[in-house]
């Protein structure tokens, strides 16, 4: 398909339509994005020294918002392909590292006025026999419009439908106790060419007693050590994790043989305050691409 500018004589018309479309989109976004609540921070850390914490919920819209807060459990886990997902549980959690049962939030139900905000306090009351390490829960913030109006039944006794679109954000809460160590092992790693990509597969195992939170970087290099492409992701390994990345073979005929530099470090996270980070080992590995 051609863009507007590709059509002779249509350039101005095309630009005008483009501008109108952008303005329409702006209006739409302004209206539509004024609908969810914002929750900060994105990770909450409690400990045996500081058993209380807080988060702020903000309603940036001009409508009241009903907000419910409850707790769940879910860790980032990888599937057999190396993709990551979090499977949420809100009951029957048997994981020994779950803090779900002994974390409380106050208040748990809030009616946020337009453009209002509310601080929610979090309190941990862990069992006395808690072993050294880190314990986890998800704070789930559910929001919906304060008043949900049902579509009225039509004049001719029609059947109408109204589906409430409910939004939930799940924030990680970590409770720490005792001497803490962040340690990650890169159990195995491989790289191979797949069409116009280099596929990198990394198997990692957490050998510490806290989640290993850091940054994973992969750089694809050509025979002259010139970078072809790279990928950086925020990493959180709670137990074992497999990650797969596709690094594109960009540019004009990159010169083989290729290699991939892998760097895993707890440095470089900007979403978590330094005092809340547990800094751990650094992994550097160079993979030959056969």
Footprint (CB under 8 A) of other proteins, residues 57-86: 58, 60, 74, 76, 79, 81-86
Does residue 106 interact with other proteins by CB under 8 A?
Answer: no
Closest approach of Cβ 152 to other proteins, in Å?
7
Q: Would you give the binding string for other proteins spanning residues 224-263, x where CB under 8 A is met?
A: ---------xxxx-------x-------------------
Closest approach of Cβ 46 to other proteins, in Å?
15
Q: Which of 83, 134, 105 lies closest to 39, judged by CA?
A: 105
Token digits of residue 176: 């720490």
Does residue 284 interact with other proteins by CB under 8 A?
Answer: no
Could you give the CA distance from residue 212 to residue 222 in angstroms, rounded to a whole number?
31
Could you give the CA distance from residue 29 to residue 22 in angstroms, rounded to a whole number?
10
Q: Is 127 or 152 the residue whose CB approaches other proteins more closely?
A: 152
Among the listed ranges 184-192, 218-226, 265-273, 282-290, the one in contact with other proteins (CB under 8 A) is 265-273
Does residue 171 interact with other proteins by CB under 8 A?
Answer: yes
Q: Is 144 or 222 the residue whose CB approaches other proteins more closely?
A: 144
Closest approach of Cβ 13 to other proteins, in Å?
10
Could you give the CA distance from residue 171 to residue 166 in angstroms, rounded to a whole number?
16
Q: Is 118 or 281 the residue whose CB approaches other proteins more closely?
A: 118
DSSP lists the bridge partners of residue 247 as 198
Per the rule left: phi > 0, alpha: psi between -120 and 50, beta: everything else, 252 is: beta
Residue 52 near residue 125, CB atoms below 8 Å? no
Does residue 201 interact with other proteins by CB under 8 A?
Answer: no
Does residue 157 interact with other proteins by CB under 8 A?
Answer: yes
Token digits of residue 194: 């797949």
Number of C-beta neighbours around residue 217 at 10 A: 16
């Amino acid at each position: 398909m051609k863009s507007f500018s590709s059509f002779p004589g249509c350039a101005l018309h095309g630009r005008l339509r483009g501008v109108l479309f952008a303005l329409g989109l702006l209006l739409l976004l302004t209206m539509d994005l004024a609908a969810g609540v914002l929750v900060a921070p994105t990770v909450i850390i409690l400990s045996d020294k500081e058993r209380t914490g807080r988060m702020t919920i903000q309603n940036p819209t001009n409508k009241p918002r009903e907000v419910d807060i409850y707790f769940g459990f879910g860790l980032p886990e990888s599937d057999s392909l190396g993709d990551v997902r979090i499977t949420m549980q809100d009951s029957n959690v048997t994981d020994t590292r779950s803090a779900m049962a002994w974390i409380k939030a106050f208040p748990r139900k809030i009616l946020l006025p337009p453009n209002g905000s509310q601080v929610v306090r979090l309190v941990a009351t862990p069992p006395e026999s808690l072993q050294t390490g880190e314990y986890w829960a998800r704070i789930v913030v559910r929001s919906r419009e304060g008043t949900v109006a049902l579509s009225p039944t039509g004049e001719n006794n029609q059947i109408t439908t109204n589906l409430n679109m409910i939004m939930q954000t799940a924030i990680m809460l970590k409770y720490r106790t005792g001497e803490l160590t962040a340690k990650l092992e890169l159990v195995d790693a491989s790289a191979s060419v797949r069409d116009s990509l280099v596929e990198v597969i990394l198997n990692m195992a957490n050998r510490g007693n806290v989640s290993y939170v850091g940054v994973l970087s992969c750089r694809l290099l050509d025979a002259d050590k010139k970078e072809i492409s790279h990928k950086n992701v925020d990493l959180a390994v709670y137990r074992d994790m497999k990650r797969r990345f596709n690094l594109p073979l960009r540019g004009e005929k990159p010169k083989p043989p290729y290699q991939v530099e892998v760097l895993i470090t707890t440095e470089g996270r900007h979403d978590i305050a330094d005092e809340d980070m547990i800094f751990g080992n650094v992994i550097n590995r160079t993979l030959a691409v056969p």
